[in-house]
Amino acid sequence: MFKLTPFRLGIVVLVVLAAIFVDSYSLIYRYLVVHQPLGTTLTSNPSVAGRPLYLHKGLDLQGGTELVIAVCKGPNDPPGAGCRQGPPAGKSVTDAQQASLPILQQRVNSLGVSEALVQAQGSDQILVQLPGVDLATAVKTVGTTAKLHFALPVQGSPNPSDPTFIGDQQNLYDPTQFNNPLFYPSGYHWKIDNNIDASDVTQAQVGTSQTNGELAVDITFNGHGADEWSKITTAAYSVYSSQGQVPAAQIAIFLDNSVITAPYVTGGGQSNMTEITGNFTSDSATTL
């Protein structure tokens, strides 16, 4: 039989008092330290002796959505998931799971949600937790197929209030990339090419460049994709060969709304196979 000794009672009291202190300290901090009324956003986080005081609340306390995403193993596998096919040839379900993690993380980051979680669960599932996000928003954010787009540079800095910019990029953009020259050359934005997309890619794999030994992504296109890719690279290379590495000699590859790479074209008229290099990390190459 459990006996409540003075020592155990003291521990219980201390835990309760600590919980009350942590959960109510933000109110004390608001009134006595920063003098902000309820209903306003704190300009700084509560702290004690210069150290931040923070209470992590799970989804059961603060609300939100938890999704378990199954990786497609084949047609209608898992049953009812709407799967039409499994992983590409030569790739396992675990490979597909690991390749999906950075894509989902990128989408979740776009929500600006604090303490969001994206992690592998087993070998064929992905767990996503989004505190404070309703189910409809969560499904819309992570429950759609990733879309790949190719684009050419056009003059004019990125400006979401400019109809030309919106039309050229078809409302696909990540404003956090605007000031990064790796994604947006100064004075340029991108024009999405609707004549080529992910359906024209038959294979993509991470390899090593034959010229400099850096990480590279080798892409193989179908017949239609090869024809369009040849047109794009020929146009870009004509600029490269006459002017050097200027923005007009680049091609951007978008994943959803974000540019994941914007390589220079140093050879035109390419066939159904192409090699893309550009200071890739292992993660960024795998994402592409």
Q: Return the DSSP state at 264.
A: B
> What per-residue confidence (pLDDT) applies to 269?
64
pLDDT tens string, the chain, 288 residues long: the values are 556 677 777 777 777 676 666 555 555 555 445 455 554 544 555 555 566 555 555 665 567 888 888 888 888 888 877 777 888 777 888 888 888 888 888 788 877 777 788 899 988 889 988 888 888 888 887 877 678 888 988 889 999 999 999 999 999 999 989 999 989 988 899 999 988 887 788 877 777 777 767 777 778 888 888 888 888 888 888 877 777 777 778 889 898 888 888 888 777 666 677 777 666 666 666 666
Q: Rounded to 5 degrees, what are φ and ψ at 139? A: -65, -40
Copy the structure tokens of residue 68.
């378990």
65 contacts 135 by C-beta, under 8 angstroms: yes
Query: What is the pTM assigned to this prediction?
Result: 0.60
241 contacts 252 by C-beta, under 8 angstroms: no
Distance set, CA 119 to CA 86, 126, 187, 255 (Å): 20, 6, 38, 20
Residue whose pair of structure tokens reads 């024009």 in the numeric block? 191
Long-range contacts of the stretch 262-265 (C-beta < 8 A, 24+): 262/182, 262/183, 262/184, 262/185, 264/240, 265/232, 265/233, 265/236, 265/237, 265/240
> What per-residue confidence (pLDDT) applies to 268?
66
Instruction: Let me know how many helices (H) and strands (E) the chain has, helices first.
Output: 7, 12
Question: Distance between CA 117 and CA 131 in Å, rounded?
Answer: 9
Question: Distance between CA 152 and CA 145 in Å, rounded?
Answer: 23
> What per-residue confidence (pLDDT) applies to 229?
87
> What per-residue confidence (pLDDT) applies to 11?
79
